[in-house]
Amino acid sequence: MADANTAKIYNLTMKIYIYIKKNFFSRKWIWIQRSIVVEKEYSFYAADIELFNNIVPANTVVLNINHFVKCMEMQLKIFKRYEDYGHTLNATNCIDFFSMRKAVCRFISYMRTYMNSIKWDYYKLRIINPTIEEDLDILFSTIKRFLSRLRNIPESIFHYAASNLGNKCVQPEFHLYHLHLDLRWLYITLIYMRNVYWQYSEEAGIHDIENIYRLIISDLIYISCKIFERIPLTDLRQKTPYSCTCIRELWLMLQIFIDELANRKQITSFWDHINFCINTMLDEKKHQNSLIYWYKGIECSFLTCKNPELFCIWITYHFTLLYGYNNDGIYLHTNCSRIRFNYEQAEKILKAYVSKGGKDDWWPSRIPIVSLLWDCFHKRLDQPFLLQTSGPWTLSLEKKTPMDIFKHIKDRIDGNFEQVKESSYGMFLRLLGSFLKKNYDNNDTKYWNQIKGRVYSKFSKSKVQEFSETGLYNFISLFLTLAVTADTLNVSTVMLDLLPSVHNFNNENARKCNLIWKGKLVILLLFNELGLNFTHIINNITETVNIISCHKDETSRSMMINFVDILDIIFSSETTLDLSEHLFIGGWIDRYLLECSKNRVHSVIKILICIFKKCNSLKMLNSNLEHVSKMLDALWSNVACRVRQLAFDPLLIGDHYHNLAKLAVAFTLNALKEPGLAKKYKHSAASLFQHFATSLIVKDIRITRYYLMLILQEEEDIYHLKKEIKNLDLILIQAWVKCSILGYDENWIEIQILQNYIAQLNEIREIFLTNQDFYEFKNNKEAILIFIMSSMKKRKSLKNEQQKVQFDIRYRSYFTNVDKWILSSITEESQETELAFWIYRCVGTLIMCSSPMFYVKNQANSMLKVLLHKIALPTEQSSQCYIKNLCKRIFSMIILGLESLNIKSDISLQVLTRNLFDQYISILITEDSSGNFKVSDTLLKCFQDAKADFSHLLFEMLMTLFFTISSENNMHKHNHLISLLLKTLLKGGKIYAINTTELILTICLPYVITSYLKVHDHHPHKNHAIDFMNSIFTNHYYRENAFIREKLINILSDIIQRYLTTYPQSLFEFMRSIAPLKIGVIKVLLPQIESIIIDLEKYKRPNAASLRYTWNQFQNFVRNIENKQ
């Protein structure tokens, strides 16, 4: 059901349609209105209608609609035959084309009226005609196919379509052309009414109607375009886009109809449809995806025209005139309430014309025109309407860099921009810039002096201070335009003087200050481009920089970022440092590098490197030496100290360490060549080299590595450095050791350069006993490990002790301060990284192979002890307790490294070893989720690879540490772990030497049993002790070797002899527990026990009776076991 508004629109449109035909003197349209358009409802039950020369009942047409559609299609096919121009009709073959037109239009009009009468109710129609929807679709499709053939009609028909005879004209081309117009209007009304009563989505219906509007308007503009092409340019003011009154009336009806519907439905207006077609004509590629066609199969280029901009202005003008008619068809001119403006589109067309190369230089240079426009604009500089509505400045000014502003100014003056995206004020600046560029370049200062006076007189410092952000932008754009095209120095000085200070700002004016600062920075770009000396303006800039570099707010940071970017552009250009660029280098650099983010640090360092390169290049050319000297002096004064300190913060430098190293090298080499300049600021090449090559505070080893790589590339520099630093080779060896350990598998080429240098040193070369070892050292990524192991071999090859002492001293010098930097690259977060594992692998190798060189007896701070405490024994208060997880991997290497020392004679080493076991036993023997314990391989390796004497010492330490009973009969909390270790060693069988089993029996077994006897009844150790005994009985060497079995009997016998009278109950309990495991062992011990008890009875000892009783019970227990077996 249609709503009231929709019905009003349709009624109004039909009223307009009829009224216009009556008021405009077009006989053919009046006839169509009278003969075709149905003004009243049919009485479908009582009336007949003539369709295609047949009289049929009006109420039966819909039953046979498919037949009438075919009849209509036959008529349209006849018209299609005359799409070629120049057909003539003879007397014998005279066709009444007008009657054919009427028949087609009458049928469509009838269908529209009939369907309106039933409100397009398909449900009712299906009762009498089940295929009604399909039949109507065929009707619509047939009309669309015909309408899509408009562009097959010769262009000349559009130009000569008018006829004084009107509909009485017999030419087929006339009626073919007008049939296209007739059907377009009928099709619009038919589709509109169908969608009014449509039972589906209203939104989809509106979209369908809008597409039909666009297609029809596109076709009508196509007709106008073909008419335009044949009109001489001199006649365009008199000629219209309408080939006849009919098409002008159709345009008017469409205009009224579309706008009325747009007012009520909020859909696309008439001008919107027109503008879409115009924009597509001006730039078809941009709107290619938005184009629609009657049929996809007939897609073609939208519109082509030799002078599209002029054509678009022409039709826009004439369509605007149509708005002078009111809804009743009366021409009211500008008083008509229907008038809708389209100024924006007209401006867009004109700008498109200019941007495509259209000439805009239509008048000679005359100052009054510029003055007139300036008088208009300067009063409105603070108004936002001057800003363009599209283009780069529609983005936030905060996001625009000084480079963007400068490029925009220059492109606008040069014409390299889209004028459709400029404001009126921007176009004025384009005009002003072009005017000055043309005249000032010719040394004609007359115009410049007049413009300068008119512009300068309109501004004062107080007035500019009151400008809003918009006003400041317009002011800056104006003065930059003048500076680019006229007296740059004068304009820049005046602009900087007029702009407000940005020293003090708050949240309210922060954006204004940022914009002011960008304007000032553009002046720097302009001076750099024109090669003007910065002395004239530098004070204004550096004063601000020195202040804002002390601030920590976001606005100041943003301003400094822009300033640094400008410096980057200036020093990256072909400057020869003769524009007083050294004045840019000041104290702000030190403060900025201290406060800014690491990305900005990288930017500043790159600029400083670039400056050094320019200085070096100019010195090689012997050019501008005075300016180079000033620049170097500024760098040493303001940058050198901060560069040293930057190396202390690895997080700040990050992955930009290359550039910091390059800058450090630049200072070092410059100090070599100009020691007096470096000394002036308390620096030297030696101090700089030692700082970056050996300083413990330089946390990022990549800086040292890359620094040394660059230094070592020039032999001349090394030669001069050796004069300054006597122990240079030793420093380089120490640096190589540090880089090899802390910089594993990173940029192998960088390390290899350093490695190749030390490899050619005699003191390094003589360490390797074979050429094979030396070759492997030079070409292996793990050269540090080869070096350590080769050093161990070298020491062993030395004949006397004096040589070894000298070698040890030299070797220790290579690893000076190793304890201070060895853990610098390991944190709690990085403990599981490959680098951390590598570092501890190197440390383990170092301790295992170099302990004799590192250890000095009776020296409290021996390098070995200090290193071990650093990497393995952190204090409980230390924040590096996590290193134990790493150190457990190399535990065996540490213990075996201590084996090469005389621990027996050094109590401090014994204490050190005990501490290692005490702190690591619980880490090396761990419990899994199922409750089972596992002994780590690195702990077992201590006993597998150790010599017998050292193993003896280790077992003794373990027993005294973990199996000593306190006065309260308590044991060490980790004694059960040692029991587990011993059982694991016993179960290992042939993996371990026989002396391991022997040592466990002779040293450990007495401690285990003694502890069993002394602890309380429910102590866990009792079970551990029995398990331990079982491990002995199942040990491979015990089963195969009689000596081991005899050893066990002797030890047990000795224990019985010592403890039978003092711990009788515990001892018999122990024997009862092991009897089922190995009854033979017990049987061997029985005579000894009997003998001891007899002696006790003989001498009437107090406990003899109780022992006899217990002993008799135990004998019975043994007999029972024997009987069971």
Q: Output b/e per residue, 651-674; b: 16+ Cβ within 10 A.
A: ebbeebbbbbbbbbbbbbbbbbeb
Average pLDDT rounded to a whole number, residues 751-775: 93
Between helix 132-147 and helix 65-80 the angle, nearest 10°, is 10
User: Residues 379, 524: one domain?
Assistant: yes
Of the candidates 1065, 1075, 1071, the one whose C-alpha atom is nearest the C-alpha of residue 1121 is 1075
Average pLDDT rounded to a whole number, residues 754-780: 93
What tokens appear for 231 in the block? 């009109």
Average pLDDT rounded to a whole number, residues 757-761: 94
Q: Is the pLDDT of residue 706 over 80?
A: yes
Average pLDDT rounded to a whole number, residues 64-84: 88
Please name the amino acid found at residue 1114: F
- In this prediction, residue 202 carries a pLDDT of 56
Domain assignment present for residue 450? The answer is: yes
Between helix 685-694 and helix 701-711 the angle, nearest 10°, is 130
- In this prediction, residue 394 carries a pLDDT of 46
Domain boundaries, position 235: 1-30+224-363
Please say which residue of 363, 397, 428 terminates a domain: 363
User: Residues 420, 308: one domain?
Assistant: no
Q: Is the pLDDT of residue 282 over 90?
A: no
pTM: 0.67
User: Residues 69, 187: one domain?
Assistant: yes
Domain assignment present for residue 1066? The answer is: yes
How far, in Å, are 174, 213, 338, 345, 766 from residue 275 at the CA level? 30, 13, 18, 7, 89
Contact 501, 465 (CB under 8 A): no
pLDDT in tens, 360-404: 554 456 787 788 888 888 888 887 644 444 444 444 667 789 999
Contact 734, 742 (CB under 8 A): no
Domain assignment present for residue 1? The answer is: yes
User: Residues 358, 384: one domain?
Assistant: no
Of the candidates 35, 10, 7, 11, the one whose C-alpha atom is nearest the C-alpha of residue 21 is 35
User: Residues 394, 530: one domain?
Assistant: yes
> 18-27 long-range CB contacts below 8 Å, 24 or more apart?
19/328, 19/329, 20/249, 20/252, 20/253, 20/329, 21/249, 23/329, 24/245, 24/249, 24/329, 25/245, 26/166, 26/244, 26/245, 26/246, 26/249, 27/166, 27/167, 27/168
Contact 627, 669 (CB under 8 A): no
Domain assignment present for residue 877? The answer is: no
Mean of all residue pLDDT scores within the chain: 85
d(CA 1021, CA 980): 11
- In this prediction, residue 400 carries a pLDDT of 84
What tokens appear for 111 in the block? 């269908």
For the chain, the first-to-last Cα distance in angstroms comes to 108
User: Residues 1085, 1114: one domain?
Assistant: yes
pLDDT in tens, 816-871: 999 999 998 898 898 899 999 999 999 999 999 999 999 988 887 889 999 999 99
Q: Is the pLDDT of residue 199 over 90?
A: no
Which range has the worst mean pLDDT, 2-11, 160-169, 548-557, 732-741? Answer: 2-11
Number of domains comprising the chain: 4
**Maximal C-alpha separation, the chain:** 169
- Measured on CA atoms in the order 211, 212, 213, 219, is the torsion positive or negative? positive
Rg of the chain in Å (alpha carbons): 52
Q: How confident is the model at residue 420 (pLDDT cuts 50, 70, 90)?
A: low
Domain assignment present for residue 386? The answer is: yes
pLDDT in tens, 909-967: 999 999 999 999 999 999 888 888 999 999 999 999 899 999 999 999 999 999 888 77
Please say which residue of 337, 363, 389 terminates a domain: 363
Percent of the chain topping pLDDT 70: 90
Count of C-beta atoms within a 10 Å radius of residue 989: 14
pLDDT in tens, 869-897: 999 998 877 788 889 999 999 999 999 99
pLDDT in tens, 150-165: 888 888 888 777 776 7
User: Residues 1113, 1000: one domain?
Assistant: yes
Domain assignment present for residue 431? The answer is: yes
Which range has the worst mean pLDDT, 107-116, 484-493, 1031-1040? Answer: 107-116
- In this prediction, residue 857 carries a pLDDT of 83
Domain assignment present for residue 1082? The answer is: yes
Domain assignment present for residue 293? The answer is: yes
User: Residues 418, 346: one domain?
Assistant: no
- In this prediction, residue 516 carries a pLDDT of 94
- In this prediction, residue 204 carries a pLDDT of 60
Percent of the chain topping pLDDT 90: 49
pLDDT in tens, 217-238: 999 999 999 889 888 888 888 8
pLDDT in tens, 335-367: 888 888 888 888 888 777 777 766 555 445 678
- In this prediction, residue 60 carries a pLDDT of 78
- 3-state class of 1073 per DSSP? helix
pLDDT in tens, 543-588: 999 999 888 888 899 999 999 999 999 999 988 999 999 999 999 9
User: Residues 171, 304: one domain?
Assistant: no
User: Residues 372, 358: one domain?
Assistant: no
Please say which residue of 538, 570, 593 terminates a domain: 538
Q: Which residue has the higher pLDDT, 632 or 696?
A: 632
Q: Is the pLDDT of residue 20 over 70?
A: no
pLDDT in tens, 778-794: 988 899 999 999 999 99
User: Residues 283, 159: one domain?
Assistant: no
User: Residues 239, 358: one domain?
Assistant: yes
Q: Is the pLDDT of residue 84 over 80?
A: no
| Phi (first) and psi of residue 285, to 5 degrees | -60, -40
d(CA 1069, CA 1071): 5
Average pLDDT rounded to a whole number, residues 306-310: 86
Q: Is the pLDDT of residue 1056 over 60?
A: yes
pLDDT in tens, 460-480: 999 999 998 888 999 999 999
What tokens appear for 626 in the block? 């005075």
- In this prediction, residue 332 carries a pLDDT of 86
Q: Which residue has the higher pLDDT, 402 or 329?
A: 402
